[in-house]
A = this chain, B = another copy of it.
Amino acid sequence: MILINGQPDNRIPATDRGLQYGDGLFETLAFREGRLEFLNAHLQRLMLGCERLGIPFPDKHKLQLELATLCAQTAEDSVIKIMLTRGSGGRGYKAPAEADPLRIISSHPMPDYPDSCREGVTARLCRYRLGVNPNLAGIKHLNRLEQVLARSEWDDEEIREGLMLDINDNLIEGTMSNLFLIDKGQIMTPAIDQNGIAGIMRAEVIKLAAKLDIPVSEKTLTFNDLQRADEVFVTNSIIEIWPLTQLIDPEQHWPHGILTRRLQSELEQTER
């Protein structure tokens, strides 16, 4: 089901700037056991993205009502996607003075990942290198060709994720997830000030680590840091925490380690 500006529909104007320029933002939320998980954090990030792009944030109450309408029609656990574009208008790249943003909220089947993913997944290293763009780093905007190109590198369903370096040889994230390394009891995750996305689950894991008194830092990381790590995991709002237990090409293995297990177990008990 899709609601477009609150109405059931499945098409948008061809003039929409989301299509023309990727001029918009999105959020991907888990709807589980009747609850939109981490809704406030998602709306907060959407609001931050709106500020960065200069798109008026929609009436929050109206948006929440629309989400409730959509979820009421969604019996089972689902993925809910919110897209917000600047709407139509303007002259070329120049945005209209009074933007009329388009809200597109839609429900999608939860991907059928096997339960075993929570005990370990296999990833590969993408050949595609992320560019560097501090102005767009962190926010979840609609310019996602880099992820599309990286994800096009493999077909094997057993490979659950592709890790991405950037053009400066820094290790940044997975195509659809944030990355965490654990080295000698310390948790590290790549800084996302040059590229990458500020994942909601990434922020949640940082919070959990602090709560559990595990040292955690955001920093510049390289492939060497990955090779040196004792445990590795990837996160997003749908998969939550997946231990990365195997990298292929170059081949390397990590255990489903004790700190990753602690974070997974703590996350399970976290209010969403």
User: Chain A interface: which size bin?
Assistant: 35 or more
Identify which of A10-18, A60-68, A223-231, A240-248 touches chain B. A10-18
12 pairs across A/B with beta carbons < 8 Å? A2-B14, A4-B14, A11-B13, A22-B22, A22-B145, A54-B149, A92-B176, A93-B176, A95-B148, A132-B132, A136-B146, A143-B144
Q: Within residues 168 to 198 of chain A, which ones have a CB less than 8 A from any CB in chain B?
A: 175-176, 195
In this assembly, does A111 line the interface, its C-beta being within 8 Å of a C-beta of chain B? yes
Top 3 A-B pairs, shortest CB-CB distance: A131-B133, A22-B22, A143-B143
Residue of A9, A22, A176 with most partner-chain B CB within 10 A: A22
Chain B residues with CB under 8 Å of A22's CB are: 21-22, 142-145
Say yes or no: B23 contacts A148, CB within 8 Å.
yes
The CA-CA distance from A14 to B136 in the complex, in Å, is: 24
In this assembly, does A151 line the interface, its C-beta being within 8 Å of a C-beta of chain B? yes
Chain B residues with CB under 8 Å of A151's CB are: 92-95
Say yes or no: B133 contacts A128, CB within 8 Å.
no
Say yes or no: B141 contacts A145, CB within 8 Å.
yes
Chain B residues with CB under 8 Å of A155's CB are: 97
The CA-CA distance from A26 to B133 in the complex, in Å, is: 22
Chain B residues with CB under 8 Å of A23's CB are: 144-145, 148
Say yes or no: A14 contacts B20, CB within 8 Å.
no
In this assembly, does A211 line the interface, its C-beta being within 8 Å of a C-beta of chain B? no
Chain B min CB distance to A129 (Å): 7
Chain B min CB distance to A241 (Å): 18
Say yes or no: B167 contacts A132, CB within 8 Å.
yes
The CA-CA distance from A145 to B142 in the complex, in Å, is: 8
